[in-house]
Structures are given as C-alpha cells and as structure tokens.
Structure 1
Amino acid sequence: MAEKPGYAVGQDNEMSMIGEFGLVVSAGNTNTSTMTAKINTSQELKYWSYQIISDLLYKRSTTVVNGEDVKATSAQKMFLSGQFDYKLEDPSNRIFIYGEYEDKRFSGFDYQTSVAAGWTSRLWRDDISELKYSVGPGYTVSKYEAKKNLADLQGLIVRAAFEYKHKFSKQATFRQFVSAEAATFATKTKSETSLSAKLNGSLAMKLTFVMNHDSGVGEDRDELDTETAVTLVYQFF
C-alpha cells in the first residue's frame, strides 16, 4: 500500500499541544473583564490518533448602581471533548469514539453531555488543505436547571461533523468546523470559523467566530448563541 501524502504510516508522530488565551478589560460606567482559555492536544500514533480539547470562558461585570458597585458573573462556560480514532488498513479511514461535556451558566441547562461512535475519514490532505468528516450514532443527556422544573432531554442521536483547513501561506491558516447532533426531541449545531496568523515560530494571533444553535433550550432562551474572540495562540510542542 502506497503511503499517502501527509501521513506517517507506520511511524509515531510527536504530540501537539496548542494553547489559546484572550483577555478583554473595559472600564467606565460598566466595568467588565472577559477571559477565554483553550487547550488543544492531539497525536497521531501507528494505529490510533486522538484529540482532546478543553475550553473555558469567564466574564464578570461591575455596574455602578446608586453610587455602589454591583458585581456579577455574566457568563461562564466549561467545555471538554475527546475523540479517539482507530486506523484501518487505509489510515485515512478510521473508527471513532467521541465524548463531550459542557457546563454553561445562563444557558438554561445544568449540564449537557453526549457520546458517539462511528466512521471518520480524511477525504484529502496535502501541504495546502485538508478535509475530514465523521458520522455515527450516539446518546445525549441535557439536564435542565432545577428551577425550570422540566424533564431532562435524553435519548439517541446521530452525530455528524466535518472540518476543513486551508493554508493561504506559511503564516496564515483558515479553519471551518461544523458539527450537528440530531434527535427526535432537539437538534444541536455548532459552527466555528477561524483565521490565524503566525507572529513567530510558536506564537500566533487568531480571530474566531462561533455559532451555537440548540432547539431544546426552551421558550425563555434564545436558541442561537454567538461568540467572537481574538486570542493569542502558543504552540507548546
């Protein structure tokens, strides 16, 4: 079997760990501070590959009311996901196991978690671009906040995701990621679009726009959330 471009068939590749950090502080009538942090760890082994992502967001606001400072947390999110792929004879085709957990205040849920397994494949990968997708069945649990007094959403889902990367140059990279989890009771979709530019060998600046749509949040919440962030990215190794 001929080795495909971009693959180290039969060899163990070094681990990759990339960290992102962003901080925005504003002052005036309303004082706010927003912190975002993300770590993306991945590795390609002879028979396996994996990717683990942790993502944090915290926002705190201080508002002057009747001459007094009133402090409150206005946004808080913790997200963790992991995908493990087993390579078949053609390493571009794999069997995957995926899991994620999200704890997001003010979303209407106490937490949301899901697992899935199925087929994943790289349609192509070269020095310029890469396209891969995954699809398979799974199970999800969305636990509402206790005060909402609603039955939890849980059941079988079909999860699908695709990721496209394109290098405009050695310094600039575009990435588009889309995922969907469809069930009879609700559908969750996520779109993440980013453009990163290297500042030096290990440091880069990244612009990211994220859209999260969840049809199960309830009538008192917006189904669509968006996030726009400018972060510094550091590749540890």
Structure 2
Amino acid sequence: MKKRFILVALTSALTAQQSIAKPQELGLSGSGEAGYSNTTGNTDTEALFASLKSSYTQKTYKLKGLIEAQNKKENNVRTQERYVGDFQGNKFFSDYQDAYGFGQFRAENDRFASINLNTYLLVGLGYNFIQEKDLILTAEAGIGNQSTDYIKESTDKDFSQTIGKLYGNFEYGFNSNVRFLQDAAAYAGERQTHYETNTGLKVKLNGNLSMKATFKYRFNDNPADGKKKEDTETLITLVYDF
C-alpha cells in the first residue's frame, strides 16, 4: 500500500511538472520599445530610450538578442549615453525545453561611467521552472570572463577577471491586458561585482501596442574613480510586440 502511494505521488508530481513546463512557441518573436521626453523653460532637457528584443525558438535551441540605447541632454549638454548589446544561445536538454545550457556575450558602453567597453563572455545552465502564458519563472547560473576598458580620460586601469553569473526572470499576467515583469542579474568577480534589476508593469493598449512603466536599478561595488556606485532610472515607454 505504501509503495503504491509513493508511485501515485511520483506520477502526479511528474504530471504536474509537465503541465507547468509547456514547450515554448516556435519561431520568431520580440518587441520594440521607445520612450522620449522633452522639456523647456528654466531647464531644457531631452531624453531618449530605445530597445529591441528578439528571440528565435526551435525544439532544440533558442536564440535571444537585446540592443538598448539611452541618451539624455540638459541645456544642450549631454549628461547620459549608454549602449548595451546582449546575445545568448540556449541548447535544450529535452523536447520539453525546461533545462538548458547557454552561451552569452554581452557588451556595454557608458562613457559617463568612464567605460569605453565592458564585455562579458559566459557559459552556464538554466532552468524554466514555469513556462505558462501568464506565469514565467526562469533561473540561470554561469561562469565566464569580464573585460573592462576605461575611457582615455579615466585614471583607472583596464582589467580582466573571472566572474560568476546568477540570473532570475519572473513574469505574471494579472489578466490579458496587465502584466508584471521582474528580472535580476548579478555578475560577481574578485575585482568588481555588478548587479542589475528591472521592474516593470506593462499595460496593453490596442492590438500589439502596449505602454510600459519600468524602474531600472544598477549597482557597481567598485566603479571608476569619481563615479557613484548606484544608478536608477524610471521610464515610461511604448512597446510594440511582434
């Protein structure tokens, strides 16, 4: 009787896991996002944010890409300029697309943080714990290398270090029109550790068009000389899903 109960419990747990981790939709998908603000008066400001996310999914692999650009001017003086490119390939270990190995390349340019080029090259493992239309939970862990080249005006020396990566992504759809988005990443090494989180609320407007409010937080425990450890941004953008 006890063995039968254990067998039924294991079967039920496996069935539940399979019902949660549904295969992802195949093909190309993504979104384009843009936000712009312009104020005049005592202080003239102009800010622009744009990003393009895409993914291409097949039964055995998934390719993901992100390109992001941010610019800001105050009284015709540029005060922010940051560019990010992030590309990752996932190789699924089963047709169920729950566990996978990944390779990632990430590059950043942020001259107002004295960074000419910051690159990450990583490999690791990931797991899709939940992959539903209105509920997503994914985690990744990896290891790799970070290389940082500072701008010529900086007094800091360029460096390279071995890093570990931890990443988590959570999405929850309150209904068909409102969705909560949260991701967090940590890149930790002996010389420098960098954290980044993105918290967003996405509201569908019409068809493929949505409005999104996002709070971005970045922390660098060892920034360039004279630079702050924390950066925060609050954005209101329009998003087009494809």
TM-score (norm 2): 0.88
Equivalent pair of 2:80/2:112 in contact (CA under 8 Å): yes
The alpha-carbon deviation at position 146 of structure 1 amounts to: 1.6
Q: Name which of 69, 79, 82 aligns with 1:77.
A: 82
Equivalent pair of 1:174/1:196 in contact (CA under 8 Å): yes
Identity %: 23
Query: What secondary structure does 1:198 align onto?
Result: strand
Equivalent pair of 1:155/1:183 in contact (CA under 8 Å): yes
Structure 1's unaligned 5+ residue stretches are 63-70
Which letter maps to 1:174?
A: F
Equivalent pair of 2:113/2:224 in contact (CA under 8 Å): no
Q: Distance in 2 between matches of 1:44 and 1:85?
A: 9
The answer to whether the aligner puts 1:52 opposite 2:76 as a matched pair is no
Q: Distance in 2 between matches of 1:23 and 1:190?
A: 23
Equivalent pair of 1:114/1:138 in contact (CA under 8 Å): yes
Which residue pairs with 2:128 in the alignment?
122
The alpha-carbon deviation at position 4 of structure 1 amounts to: 4.5
Which residue pairs with 1:136 in the alignment?
142
Q: Distance in 1 between matches of 2:142 and 2:81?
A: 30
Q: Distance in 1 between matches of 2:66 and 2:87?
A: 6
Which residue pairs with 2:35 in the alignment?
22
Which residue pairs with 1:215 in the alignment?
221
Query: What secondary structure does 2:206 align onto?
Result: coil
- The 5 A counterparts of 1:1-237 are 4-5=19-20, 7-8=22-23, 13-62=26-75, 71-89=76-94, 90-235=96-241, 237=242
Counterparts in 2 of 1:102 and 1:161: CA distance versus 1, 3 Å: same
The alpha-carbon deviation at position 46 of structure 1 amounts to: 1.3
Which residue pairs with 1:65 in the alignment?
none
After TM superposition, the runs of 4+ consecutive aligned structure 1 residues lying more than 4 A away are 1-6
Aligned pair count?
Answer: 226
Equivalent pair of 2:23/2:97 in contact (CA under 8 Å): no
Q: What is the RMSD of the two structures over their aligned residues, measured on CA atoms?
A: 1.7
Which structure shows the bigger proportion of residues in helix conformation? Answer: 2
Structure 2's unaligned 5+ residue stretches are 1-13
